[in-house]
């Protein structure tokens, strides 16, 4: 889990408005810092800004198309300026030139950036940058007072040597300072900065080009966990088998088909993961051979030779170092007993056991959380509803909607994460 001062930026949508000024060059590093902290950054540039730093540079650093034309036919066909105005959690104008502050204070809508600011309800922060004489001018100070009175946050400026040779106030704050100021605009979530990998849904193991082996998993529990984790500030990677669910917002979704695909995707990202939550109903077996053509119905019987699929969560749990490992057990009988056995056998830090037939495809769930008591110093989960049996602690969650239960699960996982540290 990231403990730095930028953790609250995870999953935040930041619209960076760049106006014309030599300090525009600092926006390259600012964008890199915001993106590294987990923010989704989109850049809007005034025409003057493009004379100081290129849109191509900002596109490469943000990973998103740069917007700089108010009347852009391509943008209007996709995300128009009104849709873009609805998108951000925060608008930061950096550098904010004296001219732009004056136009903003008077409600002008003469370019894309000023139009967005009029149309958006998002919080606005301004990072002024200008010559010290322009900064100290009464007109500039009146404009800033007007904007501050309307709720705009003013970041800086700093004082020092300026590009024109003057010394005094008007330097734009450094990128790290601006990134920290942006982070301070948000309240930390329970999981801020925590990197979580979640597997969800079934896998499909092909028999021939039109048939496969699978199960009834809908993926709803894994998707609920991904949604709630992202809302709590985590950086979430969701590795999903085939499901009929929309991708959760602010979540990196990796689509896979087979158990081998899922294992490969997990291994590729596991070293950058703090918590792994294995919710997917992975097929235990796959056909030993995949027939290249559709099998015709000719014989009275058909024999399939199956081979065992890799144990994804067991493989990951055996790694060192490893993330906090959380598993799921969907059983049809003796749910808690089988769950406890799996918790120990696979060397997991926590497991949620539930009755399979009642949860597959359902919007509600009841589950039992299980974790080993590893001594009073490490056991950090305290709850009046928790019970202890054979050195295993348990707590019943639900029955309730999967999103509510997901929030309860993540709270317990967070406690185990703190205990593991």
Give the C-alpha separation, 65 to 59, whole Å.
5
- Tell me the CA end-to-end span of the chain in Å, nearest whole number: 10
Instruction: Give the C-alpha distances (Å, rounded to integers) separating 408 from 39, 117, 226, 311.
Output: 25, 38, 13, 27
Question: Catalytic annotation on 182?
Answer: no
Give the total residue count for the chain: 421
Give the C-alpha separation, 163 to 416, whole Å.
52
Question: Which tokens go with 372?
Answer: 């080993």
Please say whether the beta carbons of 334 and 364 come within 8 A. Answer: no
Question: Is the preceding peptide bond at 33 cis, omega within 30 degrees of 0?
Answer: no
Q: 182 φ, ψ to 5°?
A: -65, -45
Write down the catalytic residue from 27, 164, 182, 266.
164
Question: Which tokens go with 115?
Answer: 């139009």
Give the C-alpha separation, 145 to 141, whole Å.
6
Question: Which tokens go with 128?
Answer: 């002024």
398 conformational bin, left if phi > 0, alpha if psi -120 to 50, beta if neither: left
Catalytic residues: 164
């Amino acid at each position: 889990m990231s403990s730095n001062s930028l953790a609250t930026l995870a999953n935040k949508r930041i619209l960076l408005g760049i106006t014309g000024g030599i300090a525009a060059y600092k926006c390259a590093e600012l964008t890199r810092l915001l993106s590294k902290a987990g923010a989704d950054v989109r850049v809007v540039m005034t025409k003057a800004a493009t004379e100081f730093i290129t849109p191509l540079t900002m596109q490469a650093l943000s990973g998103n198309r740069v917007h700089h034309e108010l009347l852009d036919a391509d943008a209007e066909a996709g995300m128009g300026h009104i849709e873009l105005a609805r998108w951000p959690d925060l608008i930061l104008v950096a550098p904010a030139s004296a001219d732009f502050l004056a136009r903003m204070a008077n409600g002008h809508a003469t370019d894309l950036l000023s139009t967005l600011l009029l149309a958006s309800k998002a919080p606005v922060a301004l990072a002024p940058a200008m010559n010290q004489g322009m900064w100290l001018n009464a007109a500039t100070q009146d404009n800033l007072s007007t904007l501050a009175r309307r709720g705009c946050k003013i970041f800086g400026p700093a004082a020092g040597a300026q590009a024109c040779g003057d010394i005094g106030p008007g330097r734009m704050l450094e990128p790290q300072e601006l990134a920290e100021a942006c982070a301070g605009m948000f309240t930390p979530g329970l999981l801020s900065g925590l990197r979580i990998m979640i597997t969800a849904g079934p896998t499909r193991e092909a028999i021939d080009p039109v048939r496969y082996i699978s199960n009834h998993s809908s993926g709803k529990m894994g998707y609920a966990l991904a949604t709630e984790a992202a809302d709590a500030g985590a950086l979430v990677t969701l590795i999903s088998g085939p499901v009929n669910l929309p991708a959760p917002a602010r979540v990196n979704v990796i689509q896979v088909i087979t158990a081998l695909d899922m294992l490969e995707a997990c291994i590729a990202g596991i070293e950058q993961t703090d918590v792994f939550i294995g919710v997917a109903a992975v097929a235990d077996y796959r056909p030993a051979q995949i027939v290249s053509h559709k099998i015709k119905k000719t014989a009275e019987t058909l024999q399939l030779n199956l081979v065992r699929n890799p144990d994804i969560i067991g493989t990951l749990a055996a790694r060192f170092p490893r993330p906090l490992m959380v598993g799921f057990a969907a059983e049809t009988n003796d749910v808690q007993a089988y769950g406890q056995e799996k918790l120990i056998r696979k060397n997991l830090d926590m497991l949620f056991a539930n009755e399979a037939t009642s949860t597959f495809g359902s919007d509600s769930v009841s589950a039992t959380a299980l974790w080993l008591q590893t001594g009073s110093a490490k056991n950090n989960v305290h709850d009046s509803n928790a019970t202890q049996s054979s050195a295993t602690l348990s707590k019943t969650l639900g029955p309730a909607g999967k999103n509510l239960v997901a929030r309860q699960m993540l709270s317990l996982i967070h406690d185990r994460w703190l205990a593991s540290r």
